[in-house]
Amino acid sequence: MRHVSANGDHVVVAVGEIDMATAPRLWEALAPLIEAGHREVVLDMAGVEFIDSQGIAAIVRAHRRLAPEGGTVVIRAPQAQARKVFEVTGLTHLIQLEE
């Protein structure tokens, strides 16, 4: 996981798999942005091949922290597997997906 800032966006770039082993690192990348007061946090998932329930839990946790202040999590460029997980779980009603 790495954090980049470009054009005012605060983006966490993830690659590989987001699973039980890597989900804590995802949260460690998202949390400082939320704590710094950013209201929109972008997770670039173009390089993510797989996400499991632990990865989803980290994203939901970020959403729960941002939503009371009017913030949002934006998932950018999810691959087919991740997109399907977001759709099947109904998370597309909570988070924003971008191509």
Q: Would you place residue 8 in the very low, low, confident or very high pLDDT band (cuts 50, 70, 90)? A: confident
Say what the pLDDT of residue 4 is: 78
Residue range 32-90, pLDDT digits in tens: 999 999 999 999 999 999 999 999 999 999 999 999 999 999 999 999 999 999 999 99
List the CATH number of the domain containing 27: 3.30.750.24
Q: What is the mean pLDDT of residues 5-17?
A: 87
Residue range 25-34, pLDDT digits in tens: 999 999 999 9
Say what the pLDDT of residue 3 is: 74
Which two three-digit tokens encode residue 33?
Answer: 């942005």
Q: Report in angstroms the alpha-carbon separations of 52 from 7, 11, 25.
A: 30, 21, 14
Strand-pair category, 72-76 with 96-98: parallel
User: What is the domain extent for residue 16?
Assistant: 2-98
Domain total in the chain: 1
In the chain, alpha helices (H):
23-35, 53-66, 80-89
Q: Report in angstroms the alpha-carbon separations of 20 from 23, 47, 58, 96, 98.
A: 6, 18, 10, 23, 25
Burial 57-79 (b: 16+ CB within 10 A, else e): ebbbbbbebbeeeebbbebbbbe
